[in-house]
Structure 1
Amino acid sequence: MSDRFLVVGGDAAGMSAAGKAKRDDPDREVVVFERGDWVSYGACGIPYYVKGEIADIEELQVVEPRKLVEERGIDLRRRHEVVAVDPDARTVTVEADGERYEEPYDDLLLATGGRAALPDAPGTDLEGVFAVRNLEAGRALRSYVVREDDAEVPAHPDAGSGDGERLRSHLRETDVERVVVIGANKIGVEMAEAFVARGFDVHVVEAGPHVLPVFGPDVADVVADHLRDSGVRLHLGTSVERLVGEAEAEEGTGRATEEGTGRATEEGARPAEGTDRVRAIETDAGRIEAEAVLCDVGVEPETDLAESAGIDLGETGAIRTDEFGRTGDDRVYAAGDCAEKRHLLTGEAVRWPYALAANRAGRAVGRTVAGRPTPVGGIVGTGVMKAFDREVARTGLDDEQARAAGFDPVSTTVTTITRAHYYPGWSRIVVHATADADSGRLLGTSMVGAEGAAHRINAVATALHAGLTVEEVGRLDFGYAPPFGPVWDPVLLAAKALGDELE
């Protein structure tokens, strides 16, 4: 059994592993290196902080650093960046305060997470173009949309570095009226809601034909209509060609056309001179002026450290691991957004940058390192989100994914109600379900409604884990009461309709 466990990365997977290893083996030395200042936080809460539903960004921190050190006995080293790993010598090289030093390990976890991808277009380095993946950038963004002075939003100790400072500098000097969100994925849609709530003119540009592509077209179309009704201007099937800076914009190269109106936008306020800031984006459908751009085109695994150490990556581009989170080196583990997951329906390795999978894998690695080998577990792709006052949920495979995986998909879409028809407050919910024609096995479901979608999807996820057929799902003994659902719950009704399609 090893006695020194080093963890690179202090968020979901890293802190879960460190905490579990220390609890299971209190005598073990556990050291966590985090290059920033924030550890153990919920980045998924940033859109709600920006919107104003969460008052203080510190509320997004799950465990205070002091407690991790004083109560849990973890050697937490913030503002310490691991810049190299030597698997042969079993050491890591660390940079801190301008100096380098080496630390030995017996077991090592790479929990380096993921970084926000940027559009493949010139101009993403302009001032005012951002992707929010950490709390400092979220704090600066909140300062912007609320029009708060810097004195009212004190900087975090690491505020002078990275996107946070770039964004803060831009916002101090720029009067922003229009925000363009590039990418209609989960964070992009949630941030669009936050911007609308703050009174901005919000445009969302998505290269694909639908918003929220992982939720499937039937659900996505319902969400798109709701976004438009809520004041978001959608530009679907539209590719970003480049982002235009202030210097070029002042040369009068044209103006944007707003969706559905055909009229030109008004020129925005000029930012301070001295740096080139974003003023518009050029798309294959025209130009959209903007004083700020938020990108949500995906998440890329942070694998540079692993690659430089000769640790194998999988076909997905994330770090390849076995069922216990071990890499090709049995003393080096990987967990979280930087590591591959196994999809339980297809058996294939996938990238799935969601919090539960990261926390669960980290905890499993911590137990394994402490002497109780524990599988990190697979995923079925369950995700939920809020789009204004709609709940959106999905799990499993959609029709296209099922076909690509070798299944013969059969699907149906039902629209039903969330409570008994005679009970006040009921609303519509749309459920799309997919099954395999050969085996009758349920493969996936997505749904959207004003209530009930976010928690109903968990029942479907459980059915997918158990490998239930559509007929078996239709026989599940769900609870019923008029305030919570109709006699035929929407999940059961979708299973019944899908069963008819399979006959």
Structure 2
Amino acid sequence: MTRRLVIIGGDAAGMSAAAQARRMKTVDELEIVAFERTSRTSYAACGLPYLVGGIVTSPDSLIARTPEQHRAKGIDVRTRHEVTAIDVKGSAVTVRDLDAGLESTVHFDELLIGTGASGLWPRWPGIDAKGVLQLRTLDDAAEVERWLVAGARRAVVVGAGYIGLEVAEGLLKRGLHVTVVERLDAPMGAVLDADMATDVAGAMRAAGIDLRLGTAVTGFTVIDGRVATVETAAGAVTGAVEADIVVIGLGVRANAELARAAGIGVGESGGIHVDDRLRTDQPHIWAAGDCVESRHRMTGQSVVVALGTHANKQGRVVGTNIAGGNAAFGGVLGTAITRFQDLEIARTGLTEKEAAAAGFDAIGVTTEASTRAQYYPGAQPMKVKVVVERGSGLLLGAQIVGGADAGKRIDVLATALWNRMTVAEVAGMDLSYAPPFSSVWDPVLLAAGKAAAMI
């Protein structure tokens, strides 16, 4: 008898799960129906800032799989269809066809919730004005492009996190005057310690960005329906920033409302509660991607970390399990990397502040090094900070800020974290060396050795 898998959400987690389940089960064994409320599936949202900046030249290049390609693999993708309710006891979902305006009920044997996350959108006065945007979808990127083509010259980016930095760089590259307004006292303040964020602030200002730190947005002045200025708590004289376009980049929240309304467990972090096999607390109902909470491998706490790497891995895990296999998601470290122009920025595990909040007796140790042998052309300065538990020497986290080829070294430290290594063990690792790539003592080894000597 053919069983039916219904998937809510047609992006990273949902379609990775669909593809994996289809590899394991034929159409006769498992019918797969995926509902997506937009018109697209499976695209690289992480590439949107680079599309805005003109580095990526075509929106189509960000699309990994079209609905037609999924259908050709035996996955019934229905775009412009929104699931509005889940009936747990009746094993059914209510679906609205957004184009036809019709509702229907679709029964399932297995249900996967992959509703993703939404950008934070504060209720500031004037936020609904034309020209105030987010950058979450291809449609958002197209709207930004329309404003640029129409002659926008002054841009304000609200928030200096990953997206804020990348969007600011893209708009600067397009020739706009860019102001970045950040409530915290440092850019990347939610993911870097303040001493590491200093170099980021310096790079932004050196590039010509008007960076306003410790500044809270209070609303927008609107003229004829369009945004005119961004108002801040700094006051009417110094706090108003003229703007033709405003991009809000304040982070995201898990889209867990549909699950919550159905009585499916949602954790304190705001994400749907799942176990390591991605099962919810209701039988035959699973969840994956940005809408779920995951176990942090260093603290054991449940956290929502919205990254495409996790969503795709979780999709493959849950697709395997729904199809009858046995797979587990190992948790998260929050490993991430970005750049601002030539400055690479990366982190993994816990910052010094996060380690203290989690109850660790920890110290942070910062090491200055070079991306290559100092005598080799192209060597760039870099800083490595490791966060270490006193006494045990357990590595708790790391951050890297530096020139070209600095950032991806974070993966070595993430691997060490994953395997719960001490800094003494990291300092003894056998890493590669040649002058074009590293000094004889790689910066990772230098940082770990310095920390080991201090604890």
TM bucket (normalised to shorter chain) is: over 0.9
Whole-Å Cα distance in 2 between the matches of residues 469 and 496 of structure 1? 10
Is 2:76 the counterpart of 1:127?
Answer: no
Within the candidate set 240, 265, 279, 2:217 is matched to 240
8 Å contact 2:2–2:31 — kept in the other structure?
no
Distance 1:101 1:6 in 2: 14
Q: Under a length normalisation based on structure 2, what TM-score does the superposition of the two structures give?
A: 0.96
1:381 aligns with 2:334: yes
Q: Deviations over 1:170-189 (max 9, x none)?
A: xx5xx422111110010011
The number of aligned residues is 446
Cα distance change, pair 500–280 in 1 and its aligned pair in 2 (3 A): same
> Aligned partners of 1:280, 1:448: CA distance in 2, in Å?
33
The separation in 2 between residues aligned to 1:31 and 1:68, in whole angstroms, is: 11
Separation in 1, partners of 2:2, 2:387:
46
Structure 1 CA distance, aligned partners of 2:406 and 2:280?
Answer: 37
User: 2:292 & 2:406 partners in 1: Cα distance?
Assistant: 29
One-letter amino acid matched to 2:245: A
Contact 1:335 1:362 in 2 (8 A): yes
| Residue 444 in structure 1 maps to residue 447 in structure 2 | no
Contact 1:42 1:61 in 2 (8 A): yes
**Which amino acid is the alignment partner of residue 240 of structure 2?**
R
Report the equivalent of 2:174.
198
Paired residue for 1:207, among 183, 206, 229?
A: 183
Q: Deviations over 1:460-487 (max 9, x none)?
A: 0000000000100000000101111101
Larger displacement relative to structure 2 (234-243 or 112-121): 112-121
Percent identity between matched residues is 42
Deviation by residue 1:24-69 (Cα, 9 ceiling, x = unmatched): 1123111111011110000000011111111110100012222211
Match of 2:14 in 1: 14
RMSD: 1.2
- 1:305 aligned to 2:281? no
SS at match of 1:367: helix
CA distance in 2, matches of 1:67, 1:2: 22
The letter of the residue matching 1:220 is A
Tell me which of 284, 289, 301 is aligned to 2:233.
284
Q: 351, 354, 358: which is aligned to 1:398?
A: 351
Please state how far the C-alpha of 1:323 moved relative to its aligned partner: 1.2
- Amino acid of the structure 2 residue aligned with 1:439: S
1:43-62 pair list within 5 angstroms: 43-62=45-64
Unmatched 5+ residue regions in structure 1? 148-171, 247-274
One-letter code of the match for 1:57?
A: P
Query: Per-residue CA shift, 1:349-379, capped at 9, x if unaligned?
Result: 0010000101101110000000012112200
Q: Are 1:98 and 2:47 an aligned pair?
A: no
Quick check: 412-421 or 460-469, which moved more?
412-421
Q: Which runs of 5 or more residues in structure 2 are unaligned?
A: none
Q: CA deviation at 1:2?
A: 7.9
Q: Does 1:336 align with 2:312?
A: no
1:433 is displaced (CA, Å) by 0.9
TM-superposition CA deviations, 1:200-220 (whole Å, max 9, x none): 110000000000111221221
- 8 A contact 1:301–1:338 mirrored in 2: yes
Alignment partner, residue 44 of structure 2: 42
Task: For 1:39 and 1:144, locate their aligned partners in 2 and report how far apart those are by CA, in whole Å.
Answer: 25
Q: Classify the secondary structure of the residue corresponding to 1:215.
A: coil
Q: Which residue of 2 aligns with 1:137?
A: 140
| Other-structure match for 1:33 | 35
Whole-Å separation in 2 of the counterparts to 1:233 and 1:7: 44
Residues 384-420 of structure 1: CA distance to partner in whole angstroms, max 9, x if unpaired?
A: 0111111110001011110111111111111111111
Match of 1:225 in 2: 202
Query: Against the structure 1 CA distance between its residues 17 and 221, is the aligned structure 2 distance closer, same or farther, given a 3 Å change threshold?
Result: same
1:120, distance to aligned residue in structure 2 (A)? 4.8
Match of 1:454 in 2: 407
Which residue identity lines up with residue 125 of structure 1 in the other structure? D
1:485 equivalenced with 2:438 (yes/no): yes
- The correspondence of residues 117-196 of structure 1 with structure 2, limited to 5 A, is 117-145=120-148, 147=149, 175-196=151-172
Output one character per residue of 1:416-446: Cα deviation in whole Å (capped at 9) or x when no partner. 1111122111010111111000321001110
Aligned partners of 1:2 and 1:369 also within 8 Å: no
The one-letter code matched in structure 1 to 2:279 is R
Q: Is the 8 A contact 2:14 2:315 kept in 1?
A: yes
Cα shift at 1:452: 2.1
**Structure 2 counterpart of 1:78:** 79
In 1, the alpha carbon distance for the partners of 2:154 and 2:319 equals 46
The answer on whether the counterparts of 1:414 and 1:430 sit within 8 Å (CA) in structure 2 is yes
Secondary structure of the 1:138 match is helix
CA distance in 1 between counterparts of 2:359 and 2:313 reads: 29
Q: What SS is found at the alignment partner of 2:440?
A: coil
Amino acid at match of 1:106: D
Equivalent residues of 2:85, 2:95 under 8 A apart = yes
Amino acid across the alignment from 1:422: Y
Once the two structures are TM-superposed, the CA of residue 82 in structure 1 deviates from its matched residue by 0.8
What is the distance in 2 between the residues matched to 1:451 and 1:496? 23
Secondary structure in 2 aligned to 1:20? helix
Relative to 1, partners in 2 of residues 1:440 and 1:362: Cα closer, same or farther, differing over 3 Å?
Answer: same
Match of 2:112 in 1: 109
- CA shift for structure 1 position 90: 0.3
- Asked if structure 1 preserves the Cα contact closer than 8 Å seen for 2:272 and 2:280, the reply is yes
Aligned-partner Cα distance in 2 for 1:367–1:337: 19
Cα deviation for residue 122 of structure 1 reads: 2.0
For residue 337 of structure 1, give the secondary structure of its aligned residue in structure 2.
coil
| CA–CA distance in structure 2, aligned partners of residues 120 and 212 of structure 1 | 23
Aligned to 2:318: 365
Q: Which amino acid aligns with 1:380?
A: L
The residue number in structure 2 matching 1:167 is none
Q: In 2, are the aligned partners of 1:324 and 1:368 still within 8 Å (CA)?
A: yes
Aligned to 1:151: none
Letter in 2 for 1:223: V
Instruction: Report if the CA contact (8 A) 1:384-1:392 is conserved.
Output: yes
